[in-house]
A and B are shown apart, each in its own frame.
Chain A
């Protein structure tokens, strides 16, 4: 994905990306009994459970570091808040969108997808430095989830490009491409 340097193009590209990620993260509610873990959330043998739906207090697990491949998803509460944040950001209310995403982050603080969402809002309002930092935070949290890591690197690339740091942006984009499942 090429991102033009003009900020309006960045915003519209983000809105497309937001829609795409929204489609990825939100699961059709009707297929899930309330409270059941979403399918494929915790692959068997994985040491640490991926954050479940609203699982603020996951049961204490072994201290073994999370090593298995994982795929981060958002729980229903975070999904609803992300959807609300998209609406707010779409009408230019970046501050409100960020506040809504912070609510989601208090529910799932270790979910890299939420840090990417918040970084996208920061980028949308022109705060590329915070977008970059949140991309790095997401990459660090997304260990074991290549697609979330790819999204984190893409955010870093976009925030670098906005600041005119094209060589570094290309490098970050390359890392995103190498991790991306597509």
Chain B
């Protein structure tokens, strides 16, 4: 018996010590930069403030509040620590007009050119999946909370030795009479022990074990330590697969603001939830939880913790919980953060050392991507009626900086499981074609107007088998210009071009743009028999979106230690991986994919006049539906398919494109309008034939960009005005250059 007690003592002490010093890394989203001219509506600014848990009040009485006075929004900003700056609490006045942010002034009325709001806390890195919490120190806990917990759950907390025999006997008496276990009678310490060992079944032996452990804890640690552990440990709700532990996270989860800012009625509600997070769920059972909150308030008044009038006033307040769980949970993004940091940190550093991690997550873009994927997959499932639900993944970046701003790992966005954005290795299908044509452009032997043969192919492979690829339509298109072959994703023409420039060259292009493994150099590689994850596809297309410059995609910007020292930065890095001229020519063709090729279906969804570039991808037998494309400021890659690798029955244009279009449409993004590099010329060719035409000379023409010295055969009988000919273009350039000198 003595040995058993000793064993329990060791077990619980070890557990307590382990938890006590555990400070998981806290992960923050990108802060919103406010500056004059920012396109932001008053509603969007208010939404952003509410996301950060700011309260609208008539008087700016404390940090974490704001007030609206006509076009002016005054904000009492909380103190905040960024990776590179610490800012004390400060006042900010923002004037937001119809065209966006008009002025920004500090408390003294001084104009402020640029200011960051605080970054949203998006989670913590815990050793166990599906677990999340915000660890609070005693200083961050409102004094009302421990007082209320003691009054309601354990009045003798300060004097007992871990158990309260009187309360236990009372509970036992009730239970014996009811012949089942109904009433707790557990001290806070016993509840803490129960939470540590996750035993929810209540048997008498367990109760005894629990009591011994509680007494052991009480003997070893101070009441203040035990109270703090309780506040950080206790189970307070469930959000899908995520368990909400501790009052720090519960405060964010139910009210969207830090624990320190809770008022009396809010503290009372959380204390009410302790007794049964499911039974007293304030979102699902508002009446029931309200009744218990009011009971907590009454007890607090009876115990002299608050005045009766205060309790009565608090009981008149609404519950105040946010309609949706605030402080949303982004497991796929956190997964990428965790993997990035694993290269430099041990797991233990991340889960225990109290690091602060600053990321590029854009909560607005993340929500757009989640909603678009969920909605479109539901629609596709309704159309296709298969037993297995479709799955999908999304990666969104800002190409010039290489920031990954959103990751969706599957349609169940809160599920902390298989992360398709990072781990689904799928055939890239026609997403490979831009890299085949880029290789061709770089060879100098091809341009957008070059006529290539879309003709039957029969290759005898090394294994003696024959490879006979076909077009999607099973038709053969004959001579077509490159711009059309790419826009209509013609397989035979692409294989012809790829074999001509050479598999090693195409493989090299893919690797320069960031493909991690060398692709197997077989002809089928030219049609996308190359496995990539959605994140890797985003890396490849990011180079196309940023003019042939490779930026390693990054989620983490900086890591600082618990005491605020910068530990690690992930600075912006670029390297040139292709000629800007070749990439510009290719990108202009990818614009035509959206205008008249396999991406044109996006038009109906995108804002009118928004120029975007992109490429659909369909792998063999329709197993993978891809779309990758970019605007001037954003890149998104979408994959849709079945986890089982069953054929979907639809193309990239039918599956992934609608998701992509809805994400882009919701991003408030800008047109792709990269400047045309010198030495190139824009001209019009006939889309079916590739012959040079003058405007008005053909009813099916397309503008392409080719090297200034390229000679493109003209359509017979077409007369050319002097614009568009290479010679004039060069003269125009010389004139522009001279005018430039005059500046």
Contact = CB atoms under 8 A, between A and B. Distances in A.
B661 to A, nearest CB: 16
B673 A61 contact: yes
User: What interface size band does chain B fall in?
Assistant: 35 or more
A66 B632 CA distance: 13
B35 A105 contact: no
A106 interface: yes
21 contacts: A29-B111, A35-B37, A35-B103, A48-B675, A57-B668, A57-B669, A60-B610, A63-B671, A66-B673, A66-B675, A67-B676, A76-B37, A77-B35, A95-B571, A98-B569, A109-B401, A130-B573, A130-B574, A133-B574, A143-B678, A147-B743
Nearest to A147: B743
Interface in B12-43: 33, 35-39
Contacts of A58: 670-671
Interface in A72-112: 75-77, 79-81, 95-96, 98-100, 102-103, 105-107, 109-110
Given A60-B671, A69-B737, A102-B572, 10 more contacts: A34-B111, A53-B36, A54-B35, A56-B633, A63-B673, A65-B673, A66-B673, A79-B113, A134-B574, A144-B740
Interface string B544-557: 00011100000001
A135 B103 CA distance: 33
B502 interface: no
A133 B574 CA distance: 6
Given A95-B569, A140-B547, A144-B736, A65 B37 contact: no
B400 interface: yes
Nearest to B82: A99
Contacts of A147: 740, 743
A100 B84 contact: yes
A118 interface: yes
A63 B611 contact: yes
B739 A69 contact: yes
Nearest to B575: A133
* Residue from the set B549, B569, B675 with the largest chain A CB neighbour count within 10 Å: B675
Contacts, number: 160
A107 B33 contact: yes
Given A66-B676, A77-B35, A102-B571, A109 B400 contact: yes
Contact of A118 (B572, B591, B668): B572
A60 B607 contact: yes
A81 B114 contact: yes
A98 B571 contact: yes
B83 interface: yes
Interface of A: 29, 34-35, 48, 52-58, 60-61, 63, 65-69, 71, 75-77, 79-81, 95-96, 98-100, 102-103, 105-107, 109-110, 118, 130, 133-134, 136-137, 140-141, 143-147, 181
Contact of B676 (A65, A107, A141): A65
B674 interface: yes
Of all A-B residue pairs in the complex, the 6 with the closest CB atoms, nearest first, are A54-B37, A77-B35, A65-B676, A80-B113, A60-B609, A109-B400
B478 interface: no
Given A61-B671, A105-B400, A109-B400, A67 B736 contact: yes
Contact of A109 (B38, B398, B608): B398
